[in-house]
Amino acid sequence: MQHMGASQAGRADRAGWAGVLGRVGFAGRAGRLERASGVMSWLDYPPVWLLTALAVARAETSALGSFHDMAWLRLTGDTLFWAGLAILGVSALSFLRARSTIVPHQVPSRLITTGLYRFSRNPIYLADLLILGGLALSWGALSGLVLVPVLAWVLTRRFILPEEARLRAAFGREAEAYFARTRRWL
């Protein structure tokens, strides 16, 4: 499996487990495992996590109303939201310019160290947190503010650490040097 891409290896692992379960008499469960793995891998992307947190925050304000009625908090939230969108857009353009994948579960063809990536190894994930925190402040959603560190933890565990491992494997010393001079978040 060393020569397979990350998505190919994941499919091979799921198919392998499905085959093992089928051979030991769990054929029905093997099929369900395969379908569940496919759905979970589709759902396991940062925008899905962000949208879920935003949905929770919005549901809170719909059900309970805003926890504040202060214009300056709404303005701060709007500023954070727009800053997050700008960072997201500029960071995504870096991937387009480099002609590399932006998909978290894939190995990029180039190590991006310019633009916003000079200041943060993960400006897109930082943008996700700014968007969540900004909208939570604008909406007056306490749950959204609580979910900012939760989302940071999920992004770090589910995406950043595996991405760093892939970058180390693909770019070796160049990746290590980049990690040494550029912070993970800011």
Same domain, 152 and 109: yes
Calpha distance 109→137 (Å, rounded): 38
Q: What is the pLDDT of residues 146-182, one digit of tens each?
A: 999 999 999 999 999 999 999 999 999 999 999 999 9
State the maximum Cα–Cα separation within the chain, in Å, rounded to a whole number. 63
pLDDT classification of 43: cutoffs 50, 70, 90:
confident
Residues 6+ apart with CB under 8 A from 3: none
* Residue at 15 is within a domain: yes
Query: Does one domain contain both 127 and 71?
Result: yes
Extract the tokens encoding 51: 């949208």
pLDDT at 38: 57
Higher pLDDT among residues 163 and 9, named by residue: 163
In a domain, 186, yes or no: no
Residue found by looking up tokens 């990029």 in the block: 108
Number of structural domains (the chain) is: 2
Tell me how far CA of residue 65 lies from CA of 54, 59, 146, in angstroms. 15, 9, 16
Residues 160, 132 share a domain: yes
Do 109 and 126 fall into the same domain?
Answer: yes
pLDDT band at 39 (very low <50, low <70, confident <90, very high): low
User: Whole-angstrom Cα distance, residue 143 to residue 145?
Assistant: 5
Structure-block tokens of residue 64: 């309970």
State whether residue 108 is helix, strand or coil. coil
Taking all residues of the chain, what is their mean pLDDT, rounded to a whole number? 85
Q: Which two tokens stand for residue 128?
A: 């996700």
Question: Are residues 149 and 74 part of one domain?
Answer: yes
Q: If you average pLDDT over residues 125-148, what whole number do you get?
A: 98
The verdict on 24 and 94 lying in the same domain is no
Tell whether 176 is covered by a domain: yes
Are 30 and 93 members of one domain?
A: no
Q: Is residue 115 part of a domain?
A: yes
- Token digits for 177? 């040097």
The residue range of the domain holding 32 is: 1-43
Cβ neighbours for 107, distance < 8 A, ≥ 6 positions apart: 5, 6, 101, 166, 169, 170
The answer to whether the CB of 54 falls within 8 A of the CB of 148 is no
pLDDT at 42: 66
Q: Are both 172 and 83 inside the same structural domain? A: yes
Q: What is the mean pLDDT of residues 128-132?
A: 98
Q: Is the CB of residue 87 less than 8 Å from the CB of residue 130? A: yes
The answer to whether residue 19 scores a pLDDT higher than 90 is no
Residue 135 lies in a domain: yes
Write a three-state SS string for 5-32. Answer: CHHHHHHHHHHHHHHHHHHCCCHHHHHH
